[in-house]
Amino acid sequence: MATHFDYGFVSADSHVTEPPDCYRRFIDPAYRDRAPFIRHDEKRGDLYVIPGQDNMTVPMGLVAAAGEESSQMTFNGRDFEDWHRSGWDPTYRLNDQARDGVAAELLFATVGMQLCGHEDLDYRRACMTAYNRWLQEYCSHAPDRLFGAGQVAVKNAADAVKRVTQELGGKSANILLKDVDLQEAVAHGVQKCFGNSGQSCTAPSRMFVHQSQHAEALEIAKRVAAGLDLGDPANPDTTMGPVANEGQYDKIQALIQKGIDEGADLVCGGTGKPGGLGTGYYVKPTVFGGVRNDMTIAREEIFGPVLAILPYETEEEAIALANDTEYGLSGCVYSSDRKHAVAVASQLRTGQVHINGANADFTAPFGGYKRSGNGREWGVEGFEEFLETKALMGAYS
């Protein structure tokens, strides 16, 4: 039985003796001169669904990559309500911060979900960054409430065959190998976890330390947490402000209590507001020790200043525990031997890994494995998400 490959037919036997034409272009320079010309067309438009808890880095990055004047942005509905109550102008546009003509339409996230699959709207891709479970928390009246926002977006887009690129959060692991400078690595890990009051999708909220260093790591983490200055974010001396809103505060409080109830060791912090900060949704910087990977605080994205420290006995166990999660957005590895850290990082099932505290790099692709989403932002790969690929046969380069 013949199989069609590129130019003409080749028999099954020819697979063994010589490569078919469709593969020859990669190994024969003469053939490459006759290969189809590949170009990329800009998509007609894109829809963005963006969480209000994040800063403007995500939307500005998406707008810069898209370069699409007709793009629409849909923001988290809960934050829309907060902004509306505070007098925020719902007709606000991003013209001063981004390209002219890019409108930030403040719509409820449920509307955004419906727009993802709207047959009459002329865009072929929906891009979303959100909590995967946000929709079921906010829209308890919705028939889709058993599904996360990301799942609903994909389901709604499927009928219209629209692409959906999603960044849906994470539960990032931070592996401290036994040869590490423990003081430096723990201190940096705590600061990274508590940055932006823990409201970061890449927050390294699961710290793995060797069993023999567990007690010392807890003491270091406790001292670092105690050294944070909580207060008004407008005060330059403040190192940690409140969380976004009451709903997020309540969720964090419930998960902290869950950690206590499930038997994790509360090292510092806990439920309730910090002393002297009764106004505002402030959360105590909280560290748990002796955490097991099956505990709720090690499984769910808390999106607040809560760090779980988990002991491990072998390097292989640390890698296995780090990968034992439904998420795969980011991660960290610390070691006194950079090559050793890279070898471990290469085994993590996650879209990015920061070696020895390396900062984010906007030239590198950003996106997740597993339930952390599909597609990539930033870097060359981020631009390619906004392009359609076209092959021109006969237009030899």
Active site residues: 167, 201
Buried b (16+ CB within 10 A) or exposed e, 206-239: bbbbbeebbeebbebbbebbeebebbeeeeeeeb
Dump strand ranges (E) for the chain: 3-4, 9-10, 37-42, 46-50, 72-75, 125-129, 163-167, 173-176, 206-210, 265-268, 286-289, 306-312, 331-334, 354-355, 373-374, 387-392
Instruction: State which amino acid sits at residue 322.
Output: A
Instruction: State which amino acid sits at residue 392.
Output: L
Half-sphere exposure of 81 (CA within 13 A, CB side): 9
Instruction: State which amino acid sits at residue 165.
Output: T
Asked if 280 contacts 242 with a C-beta cutoff of 8 angstroms, the reply is yes
Dump strand ranges (E) for 259-363: 265-268, 286-289, 306-312, 331-334, 354-355
Q: Residue 108 is encoded by which pair of tokens? A: 């409820």
Asked if 239 contacts 228 with a C-beta cutoff of 8 angstroms, the reply is yes
Q: What is the CA radius of gyration of the chain?
A: 24
Q: How far apart are CA 81 and CA 361, in angstroms?
A: 33
List Cβ neighbours of 223 (8 Å cut-off, separation of 6 or more). none
Q: How far apart are CA 326 and CA 354, in angstroms?
A: 20
CB neighbourhood size of 333 (10 A) = 30
Residue 173's DSSP bridge partners are 206, 331
What are phi and psi for residue 337, nearest 5 degrees?
Answer: -110, 105
Most distant CA atoms of the chain, gap in Å: 80
Asked if 268 contacts 222 with a C-beta cutoff of 8 angstroms, the reply is yes
Closest CA to 72 of 61, 82, 59, 85: 59
Helix (H, G, I), strand (E, B) or coil at 190: helix
